[in-house]
Amino acid sequence: MIANLGLNTLIIGLLVSLLSATEDMSKWLRPSEVPQPKNNKITPERIELGKLLYFDTRLSTSGKISCATCHHPKQGWTDLIPTSKAVGHNGLTGSRNSPVILNSAYQKHQFWDGRVRTLEQQALGPIEAGVEMNMSLDTLIPLLNNIKGYQKLFKKAYPKSGGVITKDYLAKAIATFERTVVSTEAPFDRYVKGDKKAISEKAKKGFALFKGKAKCTTCHDGFNFTDGSFHNVGLNDGELTGAELGRYNVKGRAGWYGVMKTPTLRDITKSYPYMHDGSVKTLEEATEICANGGRYEHNVKNKSLDIKDRGLNKTEINQLVSFMKSLTGPDMKLKIPTKFPQ
């Protein structure tokens, strides 16, 4: 029996190696260019301006909160202090876990419920949200126009503005910086490019499971490891209300009940806790939920048909986690500003 088990392990290992050698791995490579709209092309001036605005706490009523408070580069572009729900103005708690902005330029929808499509549409929402930055744009725009340093930077980044700051230019500048927040080269990327020693044998087995038995690619496919769509992974039982309704609040269709956007798995080890409600602390638990049928033995209302019990054992769960860890690269090179326009 032991000899047979050893032989089976050897055969599986050989099959994994053979598939890796013959499979077209190009779909796992990042596109050569970052998507950008024609009316807001990326330039160095716009990136620098957007970065300053992104980290500037003066964009909040309290003067203590910036975009980076909930989406910080030192915490995988989520909350600098990991929390299950975003914490904003005067310590108010949001209804959802802060989503990562990493690789959001490649996403077709923004926010957990996908209520807007572009980063420009997304950029101003948190500023005005009462539980986040709580700053009215009617107050903020005059404030920014009274800062000569920002007037000069807007004129340089958007010459047609003449240095006059508007909601539109503010959104464009922040969106441009966010568009440059992309994942760095991870061990998995080196593996895809031909370095077969870049990831462990355990991770390779996890990759095979990811594409095969576990069927993770149903939702997490391509270089960004997301289908860009929405799913109910069975986290909550019973009737849902408020923000837990997810995309149903946006579209009002029964099929969207409780569904949330599929997040990227890039740099996944940095962005805990997991899921839209921040209720999952570890990758092992997240993998168990998604790959083995959800959080409950019975089906919850409108749970995705893709969330099925795949019969994965602990060894296979650990192999999947090992693979996902190989998707983490070093932090992108970024000088966080400490001085802001006056």
How far is C-alpha 250 from the chain's CA centre?
20
Torsional sign, CA 221, 223, 229, 233: positive
CA 124, CA 67: separation in Å to the nearest integer?
A: 10
Q: What DSSP line would sit under 120-178, residue for residue? A: HHHHTHHHH-TTTT---HHHHHHHHHT-HHHHHHHHHH-GGGTT---HHHHHHHHHHHH
End-to-end CA distance of the chain: 75
Whether residue 285 lies in the annotated active site: no
Beta strands in 161-284 (DSSP E): 230-231, 260-261
**Cα angle: 255, vertex 119, 173; to 5 degrees:** 170
For 204, the enclosing helix (H) or strand (E) is helix 201-211
CA 307, CA 291: separation in Å to the nearest integer?
A: 7
Type of residue numbered 230: F
Reduced DSSP (H G I as helix, E B as strand, rest coil) percent helix, strand, coil of the chain, to 5: 45, 5, 50
Q: Is-contact 123 50, C-beta < 8 A?
A: no
What is the DSSP secondary structure assignment for residue 91, as one 8-state letter? G
Q: Which residue is catalytic, options 120, 128, 132, 244?
A: 132
How far is C-alpha 218 from the chain's CA centre?
17
Partners of residue 72 on adjacent β-strands? 78
Where in the sequence numbering do the catalytic residues fall? 132
